């Protein structure tokens, strides 16, 4: 599908990939960048790269490769279902499972979308005529979590507005390096892209910074070296928990991106852990005129480290 339009923005020097990914929310920024890398985006009739900055009244012409969506096939796999009705599906996702297929790579099967397509069987909304589940929120592939999936446009719009208005609370469990002595804490800072590494987010001189607010409560200490904490998010920023905890020197165990890999590997080896120790534990949301709490039980690898039953009220 080809698009031609003029830019209307108040700010100057906006990067073209950021502008297009904000405008076309059905596609991630990385997908938009891939289209640009394939020389399919033109600004003022000139082929451009993803670093090009645009201004008001620039003319953009580009093509989104939607035919690739047809290759996403329904696949039968067991789903860990927390809640389901005719409007919404809530799952407890395992680690190392991609949520979305990536059309230009080989992993266009074995994803959550493939499995949900099979489970819901023609009872989902469509994007340009292709049936797709509306995945409400994203997390890292190696994080286990409770995830909400809208089964129709009406629920998608409701959940999107609820999230936008900060009327959804997400609670996480994390095991961090170090002994936290303060039982309750709040981290409030601006997070944005790291100017020196586009794969990372940072609190230090971030690019396009946005306010991020995280609360935590210490639940227990483990082997006099680590702390189990519950976290509550008021905002949902990319890598928010990982960046906030690393910024105060209490990184999540086995966080390969934001901490020392040698220290992380020691903890991972000790506990036979193969991923970062982070789990999206439950979601609180008003649904059908009453409050719902969707709980995703811990996976076995983190349960093995924690050992004892814990009280998880914030």
pLDDT per residue as tens digits for the range 280-306 = 999 999 999 999 999 999 999 999 999
To the nearest 10°, the Cα dihedral for 2, 7, 12, 13?
Answer: 20
2: how many CB neighbours lie within 10 A of its CB?
Answer: 8
Radius of gyration for the alpha carbons in the chain, expressed in angstroms and rounded: 21
What are the structure tokens assigned to 35, written together? Answer: 């289209």
What are the structure tokens assigned to 230, written together? Answer: 């519950």
Residue 59 clears pLDDT 90, i.e. is over it: no
pLDDT per residue as tens digits for the range 180-216 = 988 888 999 999 888 888 778 999 998 888 999 999 9
C-alpha distances out from residue 232 to 31, 168, 185, 212, Å = 30, 11, 10, 12
CATH number assigned to the domain with residue range 168-306, chosen from the 4 options 3.10.450.50, 3.30.2350.10, 3.10.580.10, 3.40.50.300: 3.30.2350.10
Active site residue 194: no
Beta partners for residue 107, in sequence order: none
- State the pTM of this model: 0.73
- φ/ψ of 303, rounded to 5, equals -60, -35
Q: How many CA atoms lie within 13 A of 17 on its CB side?
A: 17
pLDDT per residue as tens digits for the range 123-147 = 776 554 455 667 766 667 778 878 8
- DSSP 8-state code for residue 298: P
CATH 3.30.2350.10 matches 68-164: yes
What are the structure tokens assigned to 178, written together? Answer: 């170090």
SS3 category, 68: helix
CA separation for the pair 84, 91 (Å, rounded): 9
Closest CA to 178 of 264, 82, 56: 264
The answer to whether the 68-164 and 168-306 domains have the same CATH topology is yes
For the chain, the structural domain boundaries read: 2-64, 68-164, 168-306
CATH number assigned to the domain with residue range 2-64, chosen from the 4 options 3.40.50.300, 1.10.10.10, 3.10.290.10, 3.40.640.10: 3.10.290.10
Of 40-44, 251-255, 290-294, minimum mean pLDDT range = 40-44
Phi-psi map region of 233: left, alpha, beta (phi>0 left; psi -120 to 50 alpha) = beta
pLDDT per residue as tens digits for the range 151-182 = 887 888 888 888 878 888 889 999 999 999 88
Residue 105 clears pLDDT 60, i.e. is over it: no
pLDDT per residue as tens digits for the range 89-104 = 999 988 888 777 655 4
Q: Which of 17, 140, 223, 301 is catalytic?
A: 140
Decide if 243 contacts 202 (C-beta within 8 A): yes
CA separation for the pair 121, 288 (Å, rounded): 24
CA separation for the pair 307, 303 (Å, rounded): 6
Decide if 61 contacts 3 (C-beta within 8 A): yes
Pairing of strands 278-287, 144-150: parallel
- DSSP 8-state code for residue 254: T
SS3 category, 312: coil
Residue 297 CA, distance from chain mean position: 19
Q: What is the 3-state secondary structure (H, E, C) of 201-217?
A: EECCCCEEEEEEEEEEE
What are the structure tokens assigned to 278, written together? Answer: 């982070």
């Amino acid at each position: 599908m080809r698009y031609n339009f003029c830019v209307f923005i108040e700010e100057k020097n906006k990067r073209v990939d950021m502008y297009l990914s904000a405008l076309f929310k059905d596609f991630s920024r990385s997908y938009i960048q891939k289209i640009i890398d394939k020389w399919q985006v033109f600004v003022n009739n000139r082929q451009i790269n993803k670093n090009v900055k645009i201004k008001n009244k620039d003319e953009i012409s580009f093509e989104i490769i939607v035919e690739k969506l047809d290759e996403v096939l329904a696949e039968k796999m067991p789903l860990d279902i927390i809640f389901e009705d005719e409007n919404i599906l809530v799952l407890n996702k395992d680690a190392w499972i991609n949520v979305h297929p990536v059309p230009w790579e080989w992993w266009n099967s074995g994803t959550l979308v493939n499995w949900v397509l099979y489970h819901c069987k023609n009872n989902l909304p469509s994007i340009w005529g292709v049936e797709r589940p509306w995945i409400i929120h994203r997390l890292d592939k190696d994080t286990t979590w409770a995830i909400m999936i809208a089964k129709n446009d009406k629920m998608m719009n409701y959940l999107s507005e609820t999230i936008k208005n900060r009327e959804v609370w997400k609670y996480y469990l994390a095991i961090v390096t170090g002994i936290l002595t303060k039982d309750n804490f709040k981290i409030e800072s601006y997070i944005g892209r790291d100017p020196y590494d586009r794969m990372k987010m940072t609190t230090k001189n971030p690019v396009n910074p946005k306010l991020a607010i995280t609360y935590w409560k210490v639940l227990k200490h483990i082997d006099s070296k680590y702390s189990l904490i519950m976290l509550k998010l008021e905002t949902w920023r990319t890598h928010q928990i990982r960046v906030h905890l690393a910024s105060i020197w209490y990184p999540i165990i086995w966080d390969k991106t934001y901490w020392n890999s040698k220290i992380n590997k020691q903890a991972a080896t000790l506990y036979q852990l193969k991923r970062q120790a982070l789990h999206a534990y439950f979601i609180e949301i008003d649904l059908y005129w009453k409050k719902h709490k969707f709980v995703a039980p811990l996976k076995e690898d983190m349960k093995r480290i924690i050992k004892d039953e814990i009280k998880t009220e914030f």
